[in-house]
Amino acid sequence: MKEKILIVEDEKDIVKMLDYNLKKENFRVLSCGDGEDALKLASREQPDLILLDLMLPGIDGLEVCKSLKNERKTANIPIIMLTAKSQETDKVIGLELGADDYIAKPFSPRELIARIKAVLRRSRERDRLPEIFKAGDLTIDFSVISASVKNKPIELTAKEFELLAALIKARGRVLSRDFLLDNIWGFDKAAEIQTRTVDVHIRTLRKKLKSEAKRVVTVKSYGYRFNSEG
């Protein structure tokens, strides 16, 4: 089955160029020109990847990215940001919100296609975690739902294990509190007390991880990610 790409771009010439080159590579292509339509299309069509321009009318690209990553149905869809902005902060913010890559305009179609294929490949690999996962002194055995640090078992509650597993499976991407609340606790709206639930569980999880607590990284004002390096 052909993989489906959603282009979110308001410049018609760029959409036309992307549509031609993507179809030539045997992708199915959808497109829209504003953030509101992008959210609706992504939820309904479930594309395999989204090319997202940051400078959009109405809801800008960063807000679209944040909304997509906060929704259960669209949180795992890879996003490549398209931007004419040169500021490093915009790229960093986008990546912290969960985007997988970015490419600055003007770009060559050949480079973009290569980026798309690389992100799709990583996305497929991300969905396949080994039964045994190791990071430093931390070992997770998903087959028997157990964890250990320096070969010493640590007692995690069901929610703590689910929380740790979700962060590991995201492979370095940031997961928002809203996303964690929805996927682990089933709360579709984040009240303040519910948001604190995530923070409390993160705090107790870190205590139990001891020397490996540093791997659960806070992204200020947004959420958490797991650092498997080092």
pLDDT per residue as tens digits for the range 25-45: 999 999 999 999 999 999 999
Rounded CA gap, 96 and 92, in Å? 6
| DSSP code, position 225 | E
pTM of the model: 0.62
- Given a cut of 70, the residues of the chain with pLDDT beneath it are 1, 85-88, 126-130, 187-195
Residue with token string 């991407």: 173
Q: Which residues contact 46 (CB under 8 A, 6 or more apart)?
A: 4, 73, 74, 77
Q: Which of 28, 196, 207 is nearest to 120 (CA)?
A: 28
Class of residue 47 by CB neighbours under 10 A (exposed 0-12, middle 13-18, buried 19+)? buried
pLDDT digits (tens, 9 = 90+) for 183-208: 787 765 545 556 688 999 999 999 99
pLDDT of residue 222: 85
pLDDT of residue 176: 86
Rounded CA gap, 44 and 38, in Å? 10
pLDDT of residue 179: 82
pLDDT of residue 37: 95
Q: Look at the domain 132-226 and name its fold.
A: Arc Repressor Mutant, subunit A (1.10.10)
pLDDT of residue 124: 78
pLDDT of residue 137: 96
Distances (CA, A) of 99 to 17, 33, 47, 64: 22, 19, 15, 11
Helix (H, G, I), strand (E, B) or coil at 176: strand
Do you find a cis peptide bond into 47, omega within 30 degrees of 0? no
Q: Hey, what are 42's tokens?
A: 């992504």
CA-based max dimension of the chain: 59
pLDDT of residue 151: 94
pLDDT of residue 70: 84
Q: Hey, what are 77's tokens?
A: 């869809």
Classify domain 4-126 by CATH architecture.
Answer: 3-Layer(aba) Sandwich (3.40)
pLDDT of residue 105: 87
Q: Which of 10, 68, 95 is nearest to 18 (CA)?
A: 10
pLDDT of residue 183: 75
The full set of domain ranges for the chain reads 4-126, 132-226
pLDDT of residue 82: 92
